[in-house]
Amino acid sequence: MKNPEVGGEQNPRTEPRSKRRKYWQRVAALLMAYDLLAVCVSYFLALLLRFDGNWLQIPAQYLDAYCRSILPYALCCIVVFHFRRLYSSIWRFASYVELAQTLLANGITIPVQIFLTAGVFGVKMPLSYYVWGAAFQLGLMMVIRFGYRFVKMEQARLKKNALDYESVMLVGAGNAGQMILREINQAEDTPEKRKSAPDGDITADRVVCIIDDDPNTWNRFVEGVPVVGGRDSIPENVVKYGVRKIFLTIPSASVSQKKEILDICVGTGCKVKQLPGIYQLVRENVTLNEMEDVSMEDLLGREPIRVDLDNVFRFLRGKTILVTGGGGSIGSELCRQIAGHEPKKLIIFDVYENNAYALQLELREQRPDLDLVVLIGSVRDSRKLNALFAEYRPDVVYHAAAHKHVPLMEDSPCEAIKNNTIGTYKTAYAAMLYGCERFVLISTDKAVNPTSVMGASKCLCEMIIQSFDAKIKAGRAAELPQLFTHGDPSGTPPPELPRRVRTEYVAVRFGNVLGSNGSVIPIFKEQIEKGGPVTVTHPDIIRYFMTIPEAVSLVLLAGTYAKGGEIFVLDLGSPVKIDTLARNLIRLSGYRPDVDIKIEYTGLRPGEKLYEEMLMAEEGLQKTQNNLIFIGHPIQFDMSRFFDQLRGLMDAAYRNADGEEIRRLLAEAVSTYRPAQESQSPEK
C-alpha cells in the first residue's frame, strides 16, 4: 500500500469509514454542481435554439424571465434529485431502476419551470423552450451518469480481452440465459481473483455463441452474441468456436429433453454446467453462482418419483421407529427424513459403529429435540433383538440391514444366509412377538430369478415376509417357528404371542442406488481420480438405477399404505448400460474416454448377470395410485417345507458348510435360483 502523504493512493477498502463517506459525499457534491450547470445550460440552449442560434434575436422579456427563474429552478431540481436518490446511487451498477428514477425526477421538475416563468414572473415562454429545455436537461443528466457506467463496462471488457479466457456456449436464449450472459459480460478482473489464481493468471469466461431450438432466434444476436442454431448443431459449433464450457440455461426443460441435450453436450468433451429447474419456479432472476455441475442422475433421463409424503409423515408422527442398518446409504437417508417429521422416538440399529456414530452426531446437531437412540448390534443376535424390542416397543420397523455385495457373498455364502436370511427372520419374528405395527423389508431386483447367493438370500427374505403375513392373516401365527442357534433365545423366557397379532409385513424392491456405498459411481470416480483405467465387467451389462431420495420415498410409501404381504416395485423405465455410464462420468470429469482415461473390461464376476429383472413373469403386476409404483403378487410355495428348508440353511450356515452345499440348499428352497457359471470374457 502506498503512503498517501507522499502522493500514493490509499486503498478505499482499508480507509477509515469516515474517509470513505467523505469520498462519496464529494462525488455527490460534484454531481450537484454539474446538475446546476446542466440545468442552466439546458434551458439557455432551448431558448437559443428557438431563435435559430442567434442570442441577439432573443426578446428581452424572454431573456429576463430565463435569468430570473433559472437559478431558483435549478435549486429546486437539486432538491427533487436528492429525494429521488440520484446522488446516492452507485452509478457503475446503474440499471433500469436508476433510469426510471432519472426520468421521474425530470418529469417532476417540468411543471416547476412552467410555474416559475408563467406564474411567478408572468412571462409565457415559447412551447419549444419547455420541450427542448426538458430534453436537454434529461440528456445531460443521462450522459454523465450512464456514460460513467458505459466507461466502466468498456474498461472491464478491455481487461477481459487482455486475459486468457475460456469460450462458453450457452444453451438457451430465454430469460435465464440472458441473465447468465449479462453476468458473465459484467464480470471484472479483481485483486481477489488475481490473488486466488495460480501465478497471478486469470482465466475469464466469454460467451462466444448461443444455442436455441427456436428457429426464429437463429442468425440473430443477444447482447452481441450470435444464436448459431439448435441442439443438433452443438458439436459443430463447439469445434467452430473452440468452446471449452457449455452452460445449460433451460430450467423449464423436461427431464427427457434435458437428458437429450446433456447427452449431446457431454459427448463434446466440454465441461458442462446447468441451472437447477427450481430456480425458474421460485426466483425472478438467476445468477452464475446457481450453475451446478451435471450429475449422473441428470443423464438417466427419467422423471423423478413423486410421492405424497404428507400422508407418509402423518402416519409416522408420534410413533417409535426402528431402522436396522441405519448407518448405511438407504438406512441413513430413512433416518434423516423420518427425523424431520416428529417421530416419538427414532432408533438406529447397526453393526458398524463408524457410520452410526457419524449419523448420530449429524442428527443431534440438526434435530436437537429428537428423541434419538443409537444402538450397536447385529440382526443375527436374537438375544439383542429381543431385548431391544422389549425395551423400546417400536411401532414401525424398516429393515435395511443386509450384506449387499454380490462377489463378496459368492465367496462367503454362509454369511449371506446368516445375516440376510436368518437376520431378517429373527427381526421379523421379534417384531411380531412384541406387537410391532408394520415391518418393511428393503429388498432388491437381484432377488428376481437370482443367479447369485446374495440375490437368492434376499429372495428368501421376501418369502419370509410373505409367510409371516399369510400365517398372521390365517390366525396361525403360532405355527411360525423360532429359528435360534442357542437354547435360550433371550436370557429370559420369551413372552407368549399376543392373543391378536397385528403386525403387517411388506417388501420394497428396487434397483441400484446411485451414490450408495459400494455402487459403481464412487468406484468409477476413484478410478478416474487415479488416472484410470476405469473397469467395467462387460460392454453389454445393464442395470436399473434410482436415486437415494427416490428409494427412500418408495420405502416410506410402502410402510404407510401397505396392507400386508405386498412386494412394492418401482418402474425404473429403461435400463442403463454400465459402459455408457462410465463413459459419461469420464466426460463429466473433463476427460476423453479411451484417450485420457482407458476403459478395461474385466469379465462378469461370480454371481453376476448381464441384466436385472424387476418382476418375475409369474408374479404379474397390480397398479397403485402412483403410475410408477406397482405391486407384485405373492409367489406360491409350500410354507411348511419352506420353514424346514430355512432351518436346514441356518444349520449349514452356522457350521460354515462349504459353498457347494449352501448353493444346493438354496436351489432347493428357491426354485428360480440358477447359480451363474464362471465369469465370461468380454467379446472383443
Which ranges of 51-91 does DSSP label H, i.e. alpha helix? 60-83
Cβ-count burial 316-330 (b if 16+ within 10 Å, e if not): beebbbbbbbbbbbb
- Rounded mean pLDDT for each run of 10 residues along the chain, 684 residues in total: 41 48 71 86 87 80 86 88 74 65 83 84 85 87 75 63 72 81 65 44 73 88 86 90 86 75 84 63 49 63 65 86 92 90 93 93 93 95 92 95 90 94 95 92 86 92 92 89 65 68 87 64 83 86 74 76 77 73 79 85 75 52 68 75 92 92 93 67 34
pLDDT value of position 304: 62
Report the number of distinct structural domains present in the chain. 3
End-of-domain residue from the set 130, 157, 184: 157
Supply 158's cell numbers: 478491455
Same domain, 153 and 176: no
Tell me if the bond preceding 533 is cis, omega within 30° of 0: yes
DSSP string, 253-297: --HHHHHHHHHHHHHTT-EEEE--THHHHH-S---GGG-EE--GG
Same domain, 378 and 474: yes
Give the domain range for residue 236.
164-294
pLDDT value of position 199: 42
Whether 275 is covered by a domain: the verdict is yes
Residues 6+ apart with CB under 8 A from 585: 296, 521, 524, 525, 528, 534
Same domain, 170 and 215: yes
DSSP string, 101-112: HHHHHHHHHHHH
Whether 441 is covered by a domain: the verdict is yes
Cβ-count burial 363-394 (b if 16+ within 10 Å, e if not): beeeeeebebbbbebbbbebbbbbbbbeebeb
Same domain, 413 and 428: yes
pLDDT value of position 283: 42
Residue 200 Rama label (left phi>0; alpha psi -120 to 50; beta): left
Q: What is the dihedral of CA 654, 658, 664, 669, to 10 degrees?
A: 20
pLDDT value of position 197: 44
Same domain, 317 and 454: yes
pLDDT value of position 517: 57
Same domain, 380 and 271: no
CA distance 135 to 105: 13
- Show contacts of 498-502: CB within 8 Å, 24+ apart: 498/435, 501/432, 501/472, 501/477, 502/435, 502/437
Sign of torsion, CA 537 534 298 512?
positive
CA distance 460 to 441: 12
Residue 601 DSSP one-character state = E
Whether 678 is covered by a domain: the verdict is no
Give the chain's end-to-end CA distance (angstroms, integer): 66
Whether 579 is covered by a domain: the verdict is no
* Look-up of cell digits 453462482: 289
Same domain, 265 and 336: no
Decide: residue 678, CB within 10 A, 0-12 exposed, 13-18 middle, 19+ buried: exposed
Whether 598 is covered by a domain: the verdict is no
Residues 6+ apart with CB under 8 A from 384: 377, 378
End-of-domain residue from the set 270, 294, 318: 294
DSSP string, 295-335: -GGGGT--PPP---HHHHHHHHTT-EEEEETTTSHHHHHHH
CATH of the domain at 488: 3.40.50.720
Number of DSSP helices (H) and strands (E) in the chain, helices first: 22, 22
Same domain, 274 and 222: yes
pLDDT value of position 297: 63
Same domain, 135 and 213: no
Same domain, 114 and 183: no
Asked if 464 contacts 577 with a C-beta cutoff of 8 angstroms, the reply is no
Which value, in Å, is the radius of gyration of the alpha carbons in the chain? 37
pLDDT value of position 428: 95
End-of-domain residue from the set 157, 190, 218: 157
Same domain, 382 and 442: yes
Whether 475 is covered by a domain: the verdict is yes
- Show contacts of 184-188: CB within 8 Å, 24+ apart: 184/288, 185/153, 185/157, 185/223, 186/153, 186/156, 187/156, 187/160, 187/288, 188/156, 188/159, 188/160
Same domain, 462 and 505: yes
Whether 325 is covered by a domain: the verdict is yes
Helix (H, G, I), strand (E, B) or coil at 516: coil
